[in-house]
Amino acid sequence: MQKITPFLWFDHQAEEAMSFYVSVFKNSKAGKVSRYARGSPYPEGSVMSTTFNLEGLDFIALNGGPVFSFTQATSFYVSCKTLADVDTFWRKLSEGGKVHMDLQKYPFSEKFGWVEDRFGIGWQLNLTGEETRIAPFLLFVGDQGGKAEEAIEFYTSLLKNSGIGRIERYGAGRGEKEGTVMHAKFSLENQEFMAMDSSGPHAFTFTPAISFFVDCQTQEEVDGLWSRFCEKGKPGQCGWLTDQFGVSWQIVPRVLNELLGDADPAKAGRVMQAMLGMTKIDIEDLKRAYAG
């Protein structure tokens, strides 16, 4: 099971977005649709979340209300096997969207483009000749500019089965601070991530609209990750936190989804109410709420 899952916060379009993305990528499938239980802030029975898989990467999409907006600080990098794949993905993703870098040849790629789709999520398409795969891409800008390497070192020290693959740095005369990260690949829990620094005048930064959901087995694991992430970060509600670099994470025990998905609406509702009152998730408190 995937350990870290990109989590997309929508107002009311989670199910629509899932259907769209599954139609764009060839090796993809829709997953589970979960609905709000009694006692939640939204109408009972309305769509709460969806799960889906795109080219081997699991995603979660939530209908959480008009609270956060997507930015290009977190996008998704798509390594494409063929020119036809690049063109097809581009045509579908750019419809009703916004182009940030034209699809064309660049010094670093035979064909590359960066597009924001109609939901506001960014996609970087690159012809690599390798099997199609998708990786989260973190862009460190503004106050976080120049901190990509520090963040990578922190994440790889904190999460297991992690490592730094390659870091390419800006040289002199490249319009960026010499030595900062031009492009980096790293892995967290055996999953690929990418990152770069940019000192340009970007009018955005990281936002909780895209967070990373960490599936935890035990309370000990929850406690350990929560403590380290919050040392210089900021705790939020319901297992959410923002780390010292502005990136949002959810530290969640697997049992929470099992209890929220119970067929008995009263039990699921009590668990929902208990969760809404928590910062760090406490498994025993959830079980007590479930038992009534």
CATH number of 4-68+208-291: 3.10.180.10
Per the structure block, which two tokens stand in for 258? 């099992």
> Which class for 128: exposed (0-12), middle (13-18), buried (19 or more C-beta within 10 A)?
middle
Domains 4-68+208-291 and 74-197 share a fold: no
Helix, strand and coil percent figures for the chain, each rounded to 5: 25, 35, 35
Partner residues linked to 252 by β-bridges: 215
pTM: 0.95
The residues near 132 (Cβ < 8 Å, ≥ 6 apart) are 25, 26, 27, 55, 78, 79, 80, 81, 85
Burial status of residue 14 (CB atoms within 10 A of its CB: 0-12, 13-18, 19 or more)? buried
Domain boundaries, the chain: 4-68+208-291, 74-197
Give pLDDT, residue 173.
Answer: 83
What pLDDT shows up at residue 151?
A: 98
Q: Which CATH architecture has domain 74-197?
A: 2-Layer Sandwich (3.30)
Closest CA to 139 of 193, 177, 98, 187: 193
Give me the tens of pLDDT residue by residue for the chain, a chain 292 residues long. 799 999 999 999 999 999 999 999 999 999 999 888 777 778 888 998 999 999 999 999 999 999 999 999 999 999 999 999 999 999 999 999 999 999 999 999 999 999 999 999 999 999 999 999 999 999 999 999 999 999 999 999 999 999 999 999 999 888 889 999 999 999 999 999 999 999 888 989 999 999 999 999 999 999 999 999 999 999 999 999 999 999 999 999 999 988 988 888 889 889 989 998 999 999 999 999 999 8
Close Cβ partners of 38 (under 8 Å, ≥ 6 residues apart)? 44, 265, 266, 268, 269, 272
How far are the Cα atoms of 145, 194, 242 from residue 148, in angstroms, in the given order?
7, 10, 16
The per-residue pLDDT for 212 is 98
CB-count exposure of residue 181 (10 Å: 0-12, 13-18, 19+): buried
Answer yes or no: are the C-beta atoms of 274 and 262 closer than 8 Å.
no
Q: Provide the pLDDT for residue 187.
A: 98
- Identify the pLDDT of residue 201: 85
Q: β-strand 122-127 against 74-80: which pairing, if any?
A: parallel
